[in-house]
Amino acid sequence: MKALLVRDLKLAVRAGGGFGLGLAFFLIVVVLVPFAVGPETALLTRIAPGILWIGALLACLLSLDRILALDREDGSLDLIATAPLPLEAAVSVKALAHWLTTGLPLVIAAPVLGVLLNLRGEGYGWLVVSLAIGTPALSVIGTFGAALTVGIKRGGLLLSLLVLPLYVPVLIFGAEVARRGAEGLSVATPLALLGAVTCGTIALLPFASAAVLRVNLR
Amino acid sequence: MASIWEYANPRKFMSVTDRVLPWIAGLSAIALVAGLAWGFFLTPDDYRQGSTVKIIYLHVPAALMAINGWLMMLAASLVWLVRRHHVSALAARAAAPVGAVMTVIALLTGAIWGQPMWGTWWAWDPRLTSFLILFLFYLGYIALWAAIEDGDTAADLTSVLCLVGSVFALLSRYAVNFWNQGLHQGASLSLDKEENVADVFYFPLLLCIAGFVLFFLALVLLRTRTEIRARRMRALMARERMA
Amino acid sequence: MELIVEDLSVARGGMAVLEGVCFRLACGHALVLRGPNGAGKTTLLRTLAGLQPPRGGRISLDREAMVYAAHADGIKAVLTVEENLRFWADLYRVDAVGAALEAFALGPLADRPAGALSAGQKRRLGLARLLVTGRRVWVLDEPTVSLDAEAVGMFARAVRAHLAGGGLAVIATHIELGLEAEVLDVARFRPRRVVTGDEDFL
């Protein structure tokens, strides 16, 4: 398992497009929002948590089709599927690698972008916490979507269509934590629910991902 | 004893539905015409909502079928995954667009009803939002079926998507509830008679619901028959090509 | 160990391509599959590798003893030759990267990015992977594509060494490898009538 993780991380770093693109996209989305809604500080402060969550979610979505499609193209996927690693473990590791190269940088960059949107001082901590707990679920759900569409040529658009509705609960709870945190309200309930959704997805979804991947490989 | 699984055989299914379908279609037409006519012309206006209340005869049955359509797809998907009966997979495929249209009807009639009642076409009320999300799930499911050429592969993938989607749809329902307490009234019907709409509205509504159920059933059977014929044609063409 | 295949029938895209495949392969022996393009060699090998379920019949093979090599080598262009091999060695927990590099004369290329290799060199790297898996049963699909005569010789030597060590190999190939191998013409197993995945509908 470690071997696969190390390889995926190396590939993401060397081939580019892993760290860089997602972060740059996140930055651009956040920069574009004030152009669309106006520079009024009070308004930006109010919508900052939501914008940051949406930006992170879209940035995460951007690189989903690379999780499995590249391995499919060069034949590694067949070879990994016949290797001693269970496919459930392989998809979990792939999701983890995706989170480390996409989700984690977003979590770290979010506070910086929060400054651009005049996020309230109380909000930074909870923003980081909510993203740190929520983005792993985004990666795991995304891997499921990638496994569903790996057999389809140019399946990127379909992948977004399938994955975005699945992101709804994570987005609602995650953004709620960030919003309540910024407004100084209690975050206990949404935080617990967000944690539950993330734990549930990480525990169960890899089985579904592996099942559909097997179907797609035959 | 004849087992229910016999009907999962495409030939048996075709011959049975061939006989049953006209009856279902006819009954649904009678129930719909009678129920809607009764509802529109023979019931009084609501003392608060006026005549706008009558859209209930379309709105509630469509909303019910939108949800039950997804539940039917879920059941059919499970049957396909466990017992691998082709008819079941094709029935799930056939039900999806019908369910999606029911969702649209529920949303549209809801908007038309909501405008005079709440003064807005759309509000991010939990129920409305849940239906919108349900519609997105229908879209994804239909798109996935359309994107994959091999029938059995598509059936497998969409079945798993349906299972996973059901869990997430349920989660979204609760998430949305949590996110915004809404202005939608409570359920119009329930077994607990205290909360129900008045009897004058109740019976025509039941008739309309029966009509919608039968209408849904007729459409799904019809579409399943089409899917079976398409697969049969493909099999025949493959045989022709190879021979 | 023995590989026994009984009455195996395999399908591609729901369409049966081979029926009633039977063979038996003992330790130290190789089986060469022959047959025209599209006869079902790849499908048979993928079924043996467990990537697709058989339509019927039995394969007595411990999946844990088998390694599969397909048309595509699964080589990552941005990793070096050695890193590519190291990954598979770690995955299979066998430390034989040095020997594998040597067997396919990849030593001098070890630090080159795999993307800079020629097609034949890439193929050699793909085949060197077999040596870092430590698996007893090799299932190989057209292993000699784009290899020159010298490289084919390297490959044949590797297979002979593998067999001498008590291994087995099932190889689909069109060229003569100079191995003492049984030959199986898969065209023999073409189904007598057309069977599709949609048989239920007829």
Instruction: Output the pLDDT for position B216.
Output: 96
Burial of A121 (0-12, 13-18, 19+ CB in 10 A): exposed
pLDDT (tens digit per residue) in A60-90:
998 898 889 889 988 899 999 998 889 999 9
The two three-digit tokens of residue C54, written as one number: 């058989």
- Confidence band for B198, pLDDT divided at 50, 70 and 90: low
Instruction: Determine contact: A188 vs chain B, CB below 8 A.
Output: no
The pLDDT assigned to A55 comes to 94
Mean pLDDT (chain C, rounded):
87
Angstrom CA distances, B176 to A126, B131, C94, stand at: 21, 11, 51
Domain annotation covers residue C22: no
Round to whole Å and give the CA distance between C18 and B105: 50
**For chain A, which ranges sit under pLDDT 50?**
none
* pLDDT on residue B189: 55
Q: Structural domain boundaries of chain A?
A: 2-217
- Residue A214's Cβ-count burial label (10 Å; 0-12, 13-18, 19+) is middle
Residue C189 lies in a domain: no
Q: State residue B194's pLDDT score.
A: 47
Residue B221 predicted with pLDDT over 70: yes
Distance CA A180, CA B178 (A): 13
Distance CA B63, CA B72 (A): 14
Using CA atoms, how far apart are residues C201 and C182, in angstroms rounded to an integer?
40
Whether the predicted model's global pTM rises above the 0.90 cut: yes
**Sites in chain C below the pLDDT cut of 70:** 197
Query: Which of B5, B233, B239 has the most C C-beta neighbours within 10 Å, making it the best mutation to test the interface with C?
Result: B239
Which residue in A11, A71, A81 is closest to C51 by CB distance?
A: A81
Residue B238: its chain C contacts at CB < 8 A?
A: 15, 194, 196, 198
Please report the pLDDT score of residue B191 as a whole number: 46
Please count the structural domains in chain C: 1
Tell me, what's the ipTM? 0.92
Residue B108 contacts residue B63 (beta carbons within 8 Å): no
Residues 2-41 of C with CB under 8 A from B: 13-15
Q: Looking at the domain assignment, is residue C172 inside a domain? A: yes
CA distances from B209 to B41, B193, B214 (A): 17, 17, 9
Task: Count interface pairs A-B at CB distance under 8 A.
Answer: 75
User: How does DSSP assign A193-209, residue by residue?
Assistant: HHHHHHHHHHHHHHHHH
| More confident of the two residues B88 and B117 | B88
User: A131 with A113: CB under 8 angstroms?
Assistant: no
Please name the residues in contact with A68: beta carbons below 8 A apart, sequence gap of 6 or more. Answer: A77, A94, A143, A146, A147, A150, A213
Residue with tokens 């539905």: B17
Beta-carbon separation of C14 and B152 below 8 A:
yes
Q: Is residue C16 part of a domain?
A: no
Task: Specify the higher pLDDT residue, B192 or A103.
Answer: A103
CB contact A41 to C (< 8 Å): no
Q: State chain B's mean pLDDT as an integer.
A: 87
Residues 6+ away with beta carbon under 8 Å from A181: A49, A122, A123, A125, A126, A127, A129, A130, A187
pLDDT at B68 over 50: yes
Note whether C49 and C68 are within 8 A (CB): yes
At residue B5, the pLDDT reads 76
Q: In CATH, what number is assigned to the domain containing residue C161? A: 3.40.50.300
What is the SS3 assignment for B204?
Answer: helix
pLDDT level of residue B243 (50, 70, 90 thresholds)? low
* C17 min Cα distance to partner chain A (Å): 14
Yes or no, beta carbons of B150 and C13 under 8 Å apart? yes
Q: What's residue A184's pLDDT?
A: 87
Q: Do B9 and C202 touch (CB under 8 A)?
A: no
Q: Is the pLDDT of residue B190 over 60?
A: no
- Whether A13 and chain C come into contact, CB under 8 Å, resolves to no
Q: Do C13 and B238 touch (CB under 8 A)?
A: no
Cα(A56)–Cα(A113) distance, integer angstroms: 11
> pLDDT tens for residues B93-150?
999 999 999 999 999 998 888 888 888 888 888 888 899 999 999 999 999 999 998 8
pLDDT number for residue A48: 92
**Least confident residue range of B5-9, B51-55, B197-201:** B197-201
What range defines the domain where residue C113 resides?
A: 29-52+61-181
- Cα torsion C91, A84, C11, C128 to 10°: value is 40
Instruction: Give pLDDT tens digits for C65-109.
Output: 889 998 888 888 889 999 999 999 999 988 888 888 988 888 888
Q: What is the pLDDT of residue B185?
A: 62
